[in-house]
A and B are shown apart, each in its own frame.
Chain A
Amino acid sequence: MSATIEMPVVKDTFNADGHAHDAQPIYLDYSATTPVDPRVAAKMIPYITEHFGNPASRSHPYGWTAEKAVENAREEVAKLVGADPREIVWTSGATESNNLAIKGAANFYSGKGKHIITVATEHKAVIDPVRELERQGFEATFLQPEPNGLVDLAKFKAAIRPDTVLASVMFVNNEIGVIQDITAIGNICRENGIIFHVDAAQATGKVDIDLESLPVDLMSFCAHKTYGPKGIGALYVRRKPRIRIEAQMHGGGHERGMRSGTLATHQIVGMGEAFRIAREEMHEENKRITHLRDKLLHGLETMEEVYVNGDLEHRVPHNLNISFNYVEGESLIMAVKGIAVSSGSACTSASLEPSYVLRALGRSDELAHSSIRFSIGRFTTEEDVDYTIKLMRSKIDKLRDLSPLWEMFKDGIDLSKVQWASH
């Protein structure tokens, strides 16, 4: 049971002010990446050392052993998502899977049409391949989600054109954790003969996925959001009805020609083990994480001017994205060094633009700048959550005392009516 497994990093000795000294901050950024489960790491190591063979070597036991491990892992990945192992293609991660699915399917079926539908809140690893296809002559519709982050089915239907060939909608959003209605969107795609791709990088081990019943043609996965290693992912490519994709990586014809390149046996073994653990433990784990998320939410939402970003009901429990109005996100992250979180604030990115996901929900720039994403997981404890609540409350009070906007809000000034000097 997961409760007996400890997070493989040091996380103690913070002083009362929440400042880390030599210790690592409490990790609350599971949506960025998860630690590798120690059981996964243990299973991987022999495939780096003794079982180093190339799974494509057919002439000796070194190759056979590696190939067997790869095929076992393929079965584990397939089992978690209700697929046939022959429908799983190894890739380097979800970014590659998304590129292979979107460009591969669009290129193969371009004779059927050149219009693609996706959503404005998709990960950049979907948005950018679609943008690349636009440069190659495709046309794309980027649907705006509803203010709760969900796709309106009527608007999705309305975006369909006779030449729509492909749609791509993510299962679980990386910033706000909302779960799209993949069954309903997939059914609309089926009725209209549109190939449907789903980026499920944030979904495995969090929501049930059964590709036998889901009307999905292509689905992207990665290991490192589900306690496996970075650098390994997979693409599900449906066999019945058969979906064809054009390879994006050419070479030795590995993975039935869809993705050439020597298979990274140890990484694949890690992904298989991570997905096996997810299949066996996710329901228990989700209960525990839901309890922690609710505790965190209740500890924070009782403050003034706090807004949850994204729908709370159609959402994985691992994600809590909150805007603390009148406090700027980067200064808040600086103030809470005892926890490792991320922000939608422009100042935490190189681009100086606030989160495009929060902007697409219709959030004001101010609220986008003021957002913090807490993402919790397998190794988060009650004490971590208690500490986080205490720390956040004290630091938000401190920063609001420093904030001219908070002062104006308290004086009853409507900030939307103030003439700001732009710069």
Chain B
Amino acid sequence: MAYSDKVLDHYENPRNVGTLDKNDPNVGTGMVGAPACGDVMKLMIKVNDAGIIEDAKFKTYGCGSAIASSSLVTEWLKGKTVDEAYAIKNSAIAEELALPPVKIHCSVLAEDAIKAAVADIKAKQLAKASA
């Protein structure tokens, strides 16, 4: 299968690989996918008190397009508010990486990972506010 140059670039030089401290109250974690389906993405975001995403890290088990999709979103997330992050659509990811139709699900998974990480940080903030 032929990949776009952008997929190859992110696959070969993945940005922001790693893990943040999941016990940090300012860190939200989203893990989506399943090993049986051939892809699992873990996305972690660190949000400051102004609601801006300061840092983002990922680890992905999956095909080249899945790795590239998650690498790309970590770049996009930094500097965005959580609400802006929540609004990122899979179609934008697929378009940026020129994913073929059979790989669109990789971009869907990346969008799901963002939404899961945002939901996690919001739940943490809510817990902190009510504590």
Q: Note all chain B residues with C-beta closer than 8 A to A405.
A: 35, 40, 61
User: Interface digits, B55-99 against A, CB 8 Å rule (1 contact, 0 not)?
Assistant: 000011111101100000000000000000000000000000000
Q: Note all chain A residues with C-beta closer than 8 A to B63.
A: 328, 330-331, 334, 345, 347
| B131 interfacial contact with A, CB 8 Å | no
User: CA–CA, A11 to B34, complex, Å?
Assistant: 38
Residue from A326, A345, A365, A404 within 8 A of B36 (CB atoms): A365
How many residues on chain B are close to A (CB under 8 Å)? 32
| A421 interfacial contact with B, CB 8 Å | yes
Question: Is B34 touching A404 in the complex (CB atoms < 8 A)?
Answer: no
Question: Is B34 touching A352 in the complex (CB atoms < 8 A)?
Answer: no
User: CA–CA, A352 to B104, complex, Å?
Assistant: 12
Q: Note all chain B residues with C-beta closer than 8 A to A366.
A: 35-36
Shortest beta-carbon distance from B55 to chain A in Å: 17
User: Interface digits, B22-48 against A, CB 8 Å rule (1 contact, 0 not)?
Assistant: 000000000111111111111000000
| B102 interfacial contact with A, CB 8 Å | yes
| A354 interfacial contact with B, CB 8 Å | yes
Question: Is B42 touching A423 in the complex (CB atoms < 8 A)?
Answer: no
Q: Which residue of chain B has the shortest Cβ distance to A407 in the bound complex?
A: B59
| B109 interfacial contact with A, CB 8 Å | yes
Q: Which residue of chain A has the shortest Cβ distance to B103 in the bound complex?
A: A347
Shortest beta-carbon distance from A405 to chain B in Å: 5
Q: Note all chain A residues with C-beta closer than 8 A to B34.
A: 420-423
Residue from B36, B59, B105, B116 within 8 A of A402 (CB atoms): B59
User: Interface digits, A252-268 against B, CB 8 Å rule (1 contact, 0 not)?
Assistant: 00000000000000000
- 20 residue pairs of the A-B complex, CB under 8 angstroms, read A328-B38, A330-B63, A330-B64, A331-B64, A331-B66, A354-B38, A364-B35, A365-B35, A365-B36, A365-B38, A369-B38, A401-B17, A402-B67, A403-B59, A405-B61, A421-B33, A423-B33, A423-B34, A423-B37, A423-B109
Binding site for B on A (CB under 8 A): 326-328, 330-331, 334, 345-348, 350, 352, 354, 364-366, 369, 401-407, 415, 420-423
Binding site for A on B (CB under 8 A): 1, 3, 11, 14, 17, 19, 31-42, 59-64, 66-67, 102, 105, 108-109, 112, 116
